[in-house]
Chain A
Amino acid sequence: MNSTLEKMKGYNIISVKEERIDAHNSGDLKAYILHLIELGETQLIIDLEKVRFIDSSGLGALLTGYKHAAAKSGKLSLVGCNQQVLAMFELTRLNRVFEIYSDLNEAIETEA
């Protein structure tokens, strides 16, 4: 899973650099998110701007991260979802679980 990690105003921003999140790479994404949470980095923003396809395993990886962050009084939010990716969150009603922002600025300003 290609991704970058950046710290901004106390938030860990994971930018996914893959067009697809599916069963081939979702395990890596989940492991990476859980690793950060284990290290005490529980304020996470996942940037999905480059992602144009996500399947059930990708949604599951993000949901696992969300639950683990919440269990440690943290938060996992999403930014940069394209229309088709957003439709997946709506189809599963996960848009009611995650805070989904249009971009990083909105996420950081709103969360702060």
Chain B
Amino acid sequence: MCNPILQVDVIIPTQTKYLDLIGSIGEHIAKDLDHFSGDREALAYHLNLVLTEATTNAIKHTPPNPKDTVRISIHIKDNELNIKVYDHGLGFDLEAVSLPDLNQPKENGMGLYFIRTLMDSVTYTKQTDGNVLEITKRL
């Protein structure tokens, strides 16, 4: 059985106080899925986390500007969850970000590790009018 098509688009200022809102949307979506046989509580936490980390990342890479925004698009179709986070910042090279050494834990660098570990795929594309971090997960 497939989950029905769902599309949520949110545009927020580049301020961390909106992380709760974005994370909560992910949590609600997980809890309201019609068809999901896995651990729903864990999925809710993971979507909250991944959206929080991806949005934090977008805010961090955007120079401070009160007019700037981050757009987050969440789409479910054919039991595939797709998250796109658009920013207008300087961008970064996803391939150059190595996995953290968990035996030598550091304060930074765990956000992308969570996204890569908990989701099925992640790409980051630099475009002329901004950048997009795209994450997918099979439900």
Contacts and interface: CB of A to CB of B under 8 A. Distances in A.
Interface of A: 20, 22-24, 53, 55-57, 59-61, 63-64, 84, 87-88, 91-94, 97
B23 A84 contact: no
A57 B53 CA distance: 9
A93 B117 contact: no
A97 B42 CA distance: 23
B107 A23 contact: no
Residues of A contacting B: mostly: helix
Contact of B16 (A22, A91, A92): A22
Contacts, number: 68
Given A56-B53, A84-B42, A92-B105, A23 B16 contact: yes
B64 to A, nearest CB: 14
A92 B102 contact: yes
A24 B105 contact: no
A97 B103 CA distance: 9
A63 B107 contact: yes
Given A63-B107, A92-B102, A97-B105, A56 B42 contact: no
A53 B52 CA distance: 10
Contacts of A94: 105
Contacts of A97: 105
Across the A-B interface, the 7 shortest Cβ-Cβ residue pairs: A56-B110, A60-B107, A24-B16, A56-B111, A23-B56, A93-B102, A84-B45
